[in-house]
């Protein structure tokens, strides 16, 4: 159990950092080295957290699985909080369509409405809006005239790919 007031549980002996009789001109680097010896692993963890996470390289695109994990995490959040508190149907629709594109899958309007986890009327309103802005393209199902498939436009696909390249590798977005 860490001593009171010490949140990480590391104990640093001040006498080892600034022993009595130490010359005031002792270098900061020596004091830093002594701190590193005292803190050991805890400092390595802090150093790792302080580093800027690496972004994806342009040749390392996000995978369908990673986008699907993101979607599952967003649905999991709804189990603990009121669903409309974090409602973001446009983003959910774009994520669903991007995952479908990565997996080379076709997605129908009905499936997309269900995947967006919002009432169908809300999903349809957002689908229409995204189609009007040129982010979504409708294609009729050649085998069933009652069904239409939706996909991201080339520009929206490029924007999603560019966005995910800026997200640090391994970051959990919800």
Q: Average pLDDT of each block of 10 consecutive residues along the chain (174 residues)?
A: 46 47 55 61 48 50 84 83 79 93 92 87 94 96 91 95 80 66
Q: Helix or strand or coil: residue 149? A: strand
Per-domain residue ranges of the chain: 14-50, 64-166
Q: Answer whether 0.75 is exceeded by the pTM.
A: no
Q: Which fold has domain 64-166?
A: Arc Repressor Mutant, subunit A (1.10.10)
pLDDT of residue 50: 44
pLDDT of residue 62: 80
CA–CA distance, 98 with 141 (Å, rounded to integer): 19
Kindly provide the residue ranges of all beta strands, DSSP E only, lying in the chain, ordered along the sequence.
107-108, 136-140, 148-152
CA–CA distance, 73 with 105 (Å, rounded to integer): 21
pLDDT of residue 3: 47
Distances (CA, A) of 143 to 83, 101, 139, 140, 163: 36, 20, 12, 9, 35
For residue 168, list its beta bridge partners. 55
pLDDT of residue 164: 86
């Amino acid at each position: 159990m860490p001593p009171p007031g010490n949140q990480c549980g590391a104990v640093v002996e001040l006498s080892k950092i600034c022993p009595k009789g130490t010359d005031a001109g002792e270098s900061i680097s020596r004091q830093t080295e002594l701190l590193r010896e005292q803190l050991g692993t805890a400092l390595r963890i802090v150093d790792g957290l302080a580093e800027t996470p690496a972004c994806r390289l342009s040749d390392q695109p996000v995978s369908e699985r990673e986008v699907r994990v993101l979607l599952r995490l967003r649905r999991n959040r709804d189990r603990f909080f009121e669903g409309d508190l974090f409602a973001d149907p446009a983003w959910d629709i774009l994520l669903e369509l991007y995952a479908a594109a990565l997996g080379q899958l076709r997605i129908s309007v009905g499936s997309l409405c269900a995947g967006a986890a919002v009432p169908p009327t809300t999903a349809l309103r957002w689908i229409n809006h995204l189609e009007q802005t040129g982010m979504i393209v409708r294609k009729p199902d050649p085998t069933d005239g009652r069904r239409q498939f939706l996909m991201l436009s080339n520009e929206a696909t490029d924007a999603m790919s560019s966005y995910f390249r800026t997200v640090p590798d391994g970051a959990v977005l919800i």
